[in-house]
Chain A
Amino acid sequence: MISYMPYPVRIDDIVVETEDGSLKTFTLAFEQERHQKAWQHVPGQFVMLSVAGAGEAPVGLASSPTEGERLLCTVNRAGLVTTALHQLKVGDRLGLRGPIGNGFPLDREMKGKNLVMIAGGFAVTILRAALMSVLARRQDYGRITFIYGARTPGMLLYHEELRQWAQRGDIDLYVTIDREAPGWAGLVGFVPTIAAQVAPPPTNSVALICGPPIMIKFTMPPLEAIGWTDDQVYLSLENRMKCGQGLCCHCNVGPTLVCKDGPVFTRAQVKRLPLEY
């Protein structure tokens, strides 16, 4: 049955992630134990966050189910609901509906494969969830390449995790920023450029690419040049949506509903859709 009723959740912690303050990570805890117990999600799924009086907005889950009971949502302050969200304090109540969508097939098509995760900007949130899930069962996957770019060092999310991932030794981690910046000793260059230099061959591999459309557009040619095919590449679409349950019709891309049929599609599937995303 469809339900519009959000679960009440409390904000346990708020981390301001970026130098401009536009991205905050909210740690959310269910108020009611039965909601907590019933909750299950997979990386790549999203939730509708609801601020009473402002409305609802779809937000990707940044935490993996392997990280315990708390949920993490990194929210970009952009519209009415997310602006209201950014004004909330630790201890405040909000509503959460979900999990919504299909998520990445980490336990199915992706299991046993080499993984290439490519993220641009704050789209890294759901790839954080995917990577945390994969790291919890590291032996189930092959080589992991994680490429992540942001405009400036101050716009990078998850500094602590990036440091930990770099030290593990079982992830090929490439963090890049768009232009030289004082104090930055790491990679410099746009994500497609870095991907062209470091992308592994496509044998027994899948890629998860999340970022702005322009980044995805320019990341594909270098991958294709070394033999990657569209059905190996997983993307996550976004569209305006209201119900999140395949009914209100807002998020349709031709015959496909992003909320119900997606948001994760292979690039081959996306190419068969009209350009309405």
Chain B
Amino acid sequence: MQTWMISPVELDGLIQQWQKSYAVYVPALSKPATAATDCAPGWRRINAGEPWTLPVGPTPASVKSFYFPQPEILMTFHLEENHPDKGVMREPLKSHEMQVVLGVRPCDAASVLLNQLPFTEDPLFMAKCQRTALVGFTCTTRLSTCFCTEMGGSPHHCAGLDLALSPLQNGFLLEVLSEKGETLVAGCKLVPASESDLAVLADRRQGQGATSSYSSQLEVLKACALSRLYDAPMWQELGEACINCGACTFICPTCFCFDMQDEVVQGQGRRIRYWDSCMFPLYSQHTSGHNPRGKKLQRTRNRFLHKLKYFPDRFGPFSCVGCGRCIGDCPVNIDIREVLNDLVRRTELE
């Protein structure tokens, strides 16, 4: 696909053009929970000409909520006495509005591809993939919590994006990566990237590849017998530290488990699905009261093993993109990189 050179002014013009036919979202810089928009907490919809800022490193909220809204209405129903269709489930209204998410980092773009593995048969998720275009910016700054390279990604990767913008001294290299991306730049007069600009980008990507030897080390986890990892003594300490607050699971771009509940107000009901967390005791508790993961240790272990063992067992890659949000947000300073290191060491023991 084509690569162009685009100046900041031209980019602004392009964004204003999109706003004529798309809903355009940018990162909200305040705390995600307080900047709730119509569908995606942590993101805000901007109007033509409205200024916006791209934070350094991963955006405060991941793009998960564009595909997997919190909550999502699965169906609606009536419970009024004498209603002819009392209790009949109806499909909810579907939005067909095309949306552009602007300011996506490579780690989050990778997370969308990972989430598509379990959700490939889920029509609600896939419908949102159809109507969402991701415009991303490759990273030039690595935060202390970033570890995308360790998870096989790169600050300069663009997999999962429709348009990728890589900052150069006098503007951005604009890579068009999909049909949706082509539609976004259709009709724009842009200057093709020069050989030397392309060389800079190639050089950045080349340089990153070398540091990912660690990611090949992690591959041993996939081949390791589950029992060896499951019975590791490290879970004891980790389970004691973890307070099961669930912050990591909500902030995580690739945690995707959900609960389903009915809500009824004045006879009108809806069945919703909403984010759940395997950190919570109720998550696995049977109606009888029996709880297969009744202990903190078991729940903490479940989260990490789901990401690093169960998900790869089923789908191939680790369910982690190395965005580091969980490291930054954990109230008791649990660091998934240390968990990874401990697990790798565990595989090396005879």
Instruction: Give chain A's interface residues, CB within 8 Å of chain B.
Output: 1-6, 8, 50, 52-57, 78-79, 82, 92-95, 238-240, 242-243, 245-250, 252-255, 274-277
Contact = CB atoms under 8 A, between A and B. Distances in A.
B257 A249 contact: yes
A246 B258 CA distance: 11
A250 B287 contact: no
B122 A94 contact: no
Contacts of B288: 78
Interface string B280-305: 00011111100011000010001001
| Residue of B286, B287, B314 most packed against chain A (CB within 10 A) | B287
29 contacts: A1-B121, A3-B123, A4-B75, A4-B260, A4-B271, A4-B273, A5-B74, A6-B89, A52-B79, A52-B262, A57-B287, A78-B288, A93-B86, A95-B87, A95-B89, A239-B284, A240-B286, A242-B260, A247-B256, A248-B260, A248-B273, A249-B257, A252-B310, A254-B226, A255-B314, A275-B292, A276-B292, A276-B302, A277-B292
B260 A276 contact: no
Interface in B75-89: 75, 77, 79, 86-89
A52 B89 contact: yes
A3 B124 CA distance: 9
A247 B118 contact: yes
Q: How large is the interface on B (under 10, 10 to 19, 20 to 34, 35 or more residues)?
A: 35 or more
B91 A2 contact: no
Interface of B: 74-75, 77, 79, 86-89, 91, 118-119, 121-123, 226, 230, 256-262, 264, 269, 271, 273, 276, 278, 283-288, 292-293, 298, 302, 305-306, 309-310, 313-314
A242 B226 contact: no
A254 B278 CA distance: 12
Contacts of A277: 292
A250 B91 contact: no
B283 A254 contact: no
Contacts of A6: 89
Given A2-B122, A4-B75, A253 B278 contact: no
Nearest to A54: B262
A101 B312 CA distance: 22
A254 B285 CA distance: 15
Given A52-B89, A56-B260, A255 B283 contact: no
Contact of A242 (B77, B91, B259, B264): B259
